Structure 1
Amino acid sequence: MMKVGLLSGGNSTEREVSLASGKSIYKACRDLGYQVKILDPIDGIRSIKDSILSVDIIFNGLHGGDGENGEVAKYLESLNIPYTGSDQLSSATCMDKNKTKTIVFENKFLTPGWVMKNKDSDDIIDIDLTFPLVVKPNDQGSTIGLSIVKNKKELRKAFELAGKYTSSILLESFINGREITVPVVANKAYSIVEIIPSHDLYDYECKYTKGMSEYICPADLSINLSESIKDLALKVHKILNCRHYSRVDFLLDKNNDPWFLEINTLPGMTETSLLPKSLKASGIEFKDIIQKILNEAIKS
């Protein structure tokens, strides 16, 4: 019987989200007949080395921080332990929104205009973008520290908020449109989920507070448009060298053009998270998603 080590918790700003994902992944692994050991690297991944070496494979259920920025992947690779999710380089790239957008832009895909600023920059007003803007930490997930601003006064406040979480801050043109997300599992894009938040943007509160957002899956799109967006998501997943699974976020403008926002290499994995919601629309149950991901990790 395969022994699965489940990384859950950790010490990032997304610890609670990871613990929630971990509960669902643990149950699925047990239902699949695996021995499962929950490993919480709250004191860092190296603090649980012996536990890691006692299992056959690691399911990375962490979100944010070292779990998602490539550091955990790098350490697991040094131990020659197979693990789920993207490798060190891809994880580091995708956690860096500026790098990700640059690669996507260079591949001729649409992404909102942006600039990067250091949190100590004294020239944040001197930017070649027009309001409204989206201001967010360059290396955080779950929309932590994110704001929409309509003028210079709001920009300064948003800059201070984002600066609490990181030293690098992304300023991005705001595009009014429909928020959609596309899961990719085992090199296949699945049903598009449309997100209708109660706020102007799908922020942390809308993500994790029951009733604060409406989800439509599959999204109400023509077959041709849906297939082209799914194809785009898979292309993004591949050009960023992601492994096993990801979730690609877009904004669909009034002309139905999809604008790439970001990619999540370790998306939420509770049974009500967006990736499982999408695959369920295709008749795939949660435990079978976990099995697909484990199968991909074993093959890697």
Structure 2
Amino acid sequence: MPPALPASPRVVVLAGGLSHERDVSIRSGRRVADALRTAGVDVSVHDVDADLVPVLTEARPDLVWPLLHGASGEDGAVRDVLELLGLRSVGTGPRASRIAWSKPIAKTSVTRAGLATPEFVTLPQSLFRELGAGRILDAVVDKLGLPLVVKPAQGGSALGVTLVRTAEDLPRAMVACFAYSDTALIERAVEGTELAVSVVELDGEPVALPPVEIVTDGPYDYDARYNPGRTEYFAPARLSPEVTERATQAALVAHQTLGLNHLSRTDLIIDADGTPWFLEVNVAPGMTETSLFPQAAEAGGYELPALYRRVVEGALTDD
């Protein structure tokens, strides 16, 4: 029999941290905390700092909801600590988080499950120092063609991501990427409709929310994601029912194949033939006023306070 749920669960939302995405995390944490309070949850927000372990040890909350973006928040490290403290948490466990956090590993895993993903190579910065950049980058262009997308092998919020249309622009893109990660993922760019498909587990079953279509006047970079005005969103996406079904099924396959838990967001490109191409998955989707998960939930007819409380209740009753 599942444990009885407290009438007003005590939840600690973790927001902040020291990654490049600290500000986004703080905004996400505040919005989720406000929604949970509206739904009758006893919630507090705490940064990830030297006081965190003593606070959690003394408070012993019913649940911890990490809304941390970037390293440590999404690579499983903080979740390892929560497990060591014997605390329940919202989201994917540490081992599956590490797999999803590594874009090359995640892409390889979902390809084995039948999803399409753009052809790619993964190159560490150290290799360029040892072998020289010029010939390696020439080989990349010869193999993958143009245009290309260069991105950190781990990371989020499009930090360090560049769309490369000419070979001359590739070295500059590599420098931008290595500012955020020691390893670059270089993949063939797929032209098409950019989508985000969020998944939330309700009553123990993963449910795909309506896809959100992303239209920008330029690259969908950090500024376009979090500052209103540069990006237009369509929720639900302007897709045929058949293509919508393919996109939502792709997100569900990614969620289940990678062993994700409670909620996730899968980023896709839909090509001219209606094929969804897997780009990456996020185990801690942003929850800011311009983030994709809340937009998808509202497009699906969910009120955010009630939905987030259902997420909390589901996490509290997990075996």
Is TM-score (shorter-chain normalized) higher than 0.5? yes
Per-residue CA distance 1:153-191 (angstroms, 9 max, x = gap): 211111111111111100010111000111100010010
On the 8 A contact 1:69/1:92 being kept in 2, the answer is: yes
Aligned to 2:101: 95
Q: Does 1:26 align with 2:33?
A: yes
Report % sequence identity: 34
TM-score (norm 2): 0.90
Equivalent of 2:77 in 71, 87, 95: 71
Q: Does 1:181 align with 2:159?
A: no
On the 8 A contact 1:4/1:36 being kept in 2, the answer is: yes
Q: Does 1:136 align with 2:142?
A: no
1:299 is displaced (CA, Å) by: 2.1
Aligned to 2:258: 240
* Paired letter, 2:199: V
Equivalent of 1:196 in 215, 222, 235: 215
Equivalent of 2:186 in 161, 165, 171: 171
Query: Cα RMSD over matched residues?
Result: 1.3
Per-residue CA distance 1:79-136 (angstroms, 9 max, x = gap): 1100011000111111100001111112221100100001232223322211111001
1:277 is displaced (CA, Å) by: 0.8
Q: Does 1:125 align with 2:138?
A: yes
Aligned to 1:12: 19
Segment of structure 1 superposing worse, 176-185 or 30-39:
30-39
1:256 is displaced (CA, Å) by: 1.0
3-state DSSP of counterpart to 2:199: strand
1:64 is displaced (CA, Å) by: 1.1
1:268 is displaced (CA, Å) by: 0.7
* Paired letter, 1:198: D
Segment of structure 1 superposing worse, 243-252 or 268-277:
268-277
Equivalent of 1:152 in 134, 159, 167: 167
* Paired letter, 1:262: E
**Paired residues for 1:29-68 under 5 Å:** 29-43=36-50, 47-53=51-57, 54=59, 55-68=61-74
On the 8 A contact 1:271/1:286 being kept in 2, the answer is: no
Runs of 4+ in 1 over 6 A off after TM superposition: none
On the 8 A contact 1:276/1:289 being kept in 2, the answer is: no
1:150 is displaced (CA, Å) by: 2.1
On the 8 A contact 2:30/2:45 being kept in 1, the answer is: no
Q: Does 1:265 align with 2:271?
A: no
Per-residue CA distance 1:261-289 (angstroms, 9 max, x = gap): 11111011124421111111121011122
Choose 1 or 2 for highest CA Rg: 2
Separation in structure 2 between the aligned mates of residue 97 and residue 283 of structure 1, nearest angstrom: 31
Question: Number of aligned pairs?
Answer: 296
Per-residue CA distance 1:182-235 (angstroms, 9 max, x = gap): 110001001011100111x31111111211011011111122221222122111
Equivalent of 2:88 in 79, 82, 86: 82
Separation in structure 2 between the aligned mates of residue 222 and residue 272 of structure 1, nearest angstrom: 25
Separation in structure 2 between the aligned mates of residue 230 and residue 212 of structure 1, nearest angstrom: 26
Gap runs ≥5 in structure 1: none
1:29 is displaced (CA, Å) by: 1.7
Aligned to 2:4: none
TM-score (norm 1): 0.95
* Paired letter, 1:34: V
Separation in structure 2 between the aligned mates of residue 145 and residue 11 of structure 1, nearest angstrom: 17
* Paired letter, 2:316: I
Separation in structure 2 between the aligned mates of residue 161 and residue 229 of structure 1, nearest angstrom: 31
1:257 is displaced (CA, Å) by: 0.8
Segment of structure 1 superposing worse, 48-57 or 122-131:
122-131
1:35 is displaced (CA, Å) by: 1.9
3-state DSSP of counterpart to 2:117: coil
* Paired letter, 2:52: I
Separation in structure 1 between the aligned mates of residue 76 and residue 197 of structure 2, nearest angstrom: 22
3-state DSSP of counterpart to 1:58: strand
On the 8 A contact 2:159/2:222 being kept in 1, the answer is: yes
3-state DSSP of counterpart to 1:141: coil
Gap runs ≥5 in structure 2: 1-7
Segment of structure 1 superposing worse, 281-290 or 129-138:
281-290
